[in-house]
């Protein structure tokens, strides 16, 4: 795994490769304890056995079971289930609960969230066979990934993707270097807008990053944040760029990430009523 060392990148845990239900989930817990966030990556094929043969698949999927059953294309079906299982197991490891206890729901636009756990933020991305999940208890988090060999045309995309300051910096690079830098900037911008919950609704020319830098910048190149955001781009599995945007909302939360201490009061009250 290689990484771009940006200022603030030390506040984001290194991605953990999780190859299925028996992965080293203790590393997710350690990352949550140390950084308040965790990022995992996997491939959908590594979860195929669980998706096909695990008798507990239906309770594991919960609300997603019907969508899984309705998906006719086998490849799409197994990619879907693998991404949901990876998300649930990641959240379960971070919160020290059984994956079956995680209630995964979706906001308008499809962004996942953990029902009843209002202080936990989750982001999911997938491309080709890669799946990546980010989870944070400190604020918003966004993840995005692309194959390192994806070619991005500077001439075609510069006016849609880059700020004036970024265009000046990329013009100073050699033609051979520009596509890779364009791809890095693209994944960073995707990760940031996902963290904000905006997706492509926030124009990529409205904010930027320095070449080789993870500092959030205004279109004219001036700093646009005061240390509350951290960004990093890492190369994983040798063939993907994975970018992470993590926001520190100053919640001042304790290092205890057990689910019982993170549940909002309304949800806990409903659970109590059901158990009485």
pLDDT (0 to 100) of residue 258 = 56
Q: Where are the domains of the chain?
A: 2-145+247-275, 146-223
Q: Which stretches of the chain drop beneath a pLDDT of 70?
A: 1-7, 199-201, 252-276
pLDDT (0 to 100) of residue 54 = 83
pLDDT (0 to 100) of residue 200 = 58
**H or E stretch including 263?**
none
Beta strand 216-217 with 16-17: parallel, antiparallel or unpaired? unpaired
pLDDT tens-digit series, residues 206-253: 999 988 777 899 999 999 988 899 999 999 999 999 999 999 988 765
Q: At 4, list the tokens.
A: 């771009």
User: By the 8 A CB rule, do 166 and 152 touch?
Assistant: no
164-171 vs 178-196: helix axis angle to the nearest 10? 160
CA distance 92 to 86: 10
What mean pLDDT value characterizes the chain?
88
pLDDT (0 to 100) of residue 175 = 87
pLDDT (0 to 100) of residue 276 = 38
CA distance 207 to 171: 18
CATH fold group of domain 2-145+247-275: Ribosomal Protein L22; Chain A (3.90.470)
User: By the 8 A CB rule, do 170 and 79 touch?
Assistant: no
pLDDT (0 to 100) of residue 2 = 54
CA distance 218 to 125: 26
Q: 17, exposed or middle or buried, with CB in 10 Å at 0-12, 13-18, 19+?
A: middle
pLDDT tens-digit series, residues 16-33: 999 999 999 999 999 999
DSSP 223: B
């Amino acid at each position: 795994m290689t990484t771009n060392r940006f200022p603030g990148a030390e506040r984001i845990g290194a991605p953990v490769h999780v190859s299925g239900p028996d992965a080293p989930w203790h590393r997710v817990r350690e990352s949550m304890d140390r950084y308040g966030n965790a990022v995992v990556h996997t491939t959908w094929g590594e979860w195929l056995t669980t998706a096909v043969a695990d008798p507990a698949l239906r309770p594991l999927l919960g609300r997603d079971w019907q969508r899984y059953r309705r998906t006719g294309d086998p490849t799409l079906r197994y990619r879907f289930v693998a991404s949901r299982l990876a998300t649930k197991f990641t959240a379960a490891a971070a919160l020290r609960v059984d994956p079956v206890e995680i209630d995964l729901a979706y906001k308008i636009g499809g962004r996942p969230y953990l029902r009843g756990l209002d202080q936990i933020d989750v982001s999911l991305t997938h491309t080709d066979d890669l799946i990546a999940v980010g989870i944070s208890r400190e604020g918003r988090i966004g993840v995005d990934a692309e194959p390192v060999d994806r070619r991005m045309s500077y001439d075609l995309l510069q006016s849609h993707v880059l700020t004036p300051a970024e265009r000046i910096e990329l013009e100073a690079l050699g033609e051979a270097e520009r596509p890779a830098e364009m791809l890095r900037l693209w994944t960073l911008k995707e990760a940031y807008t996902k963290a904000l919950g905006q997706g492509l609704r926030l124009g990529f020319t409205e904010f930027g990053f320095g070449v080789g830098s993870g500092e959030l910048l205004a279109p004219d190149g001036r700093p646009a944040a005061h240390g509350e955001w951290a960004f990093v781009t890492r190369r994983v599995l040798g063939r993907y760029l994975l970018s992470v945007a993590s926001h520190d909302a100053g919640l001042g939360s304790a290092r205890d990430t057990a689910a019982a201490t993170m549940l909002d009061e309304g949800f806990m009250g409903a659970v109590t009523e059901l158990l009485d």
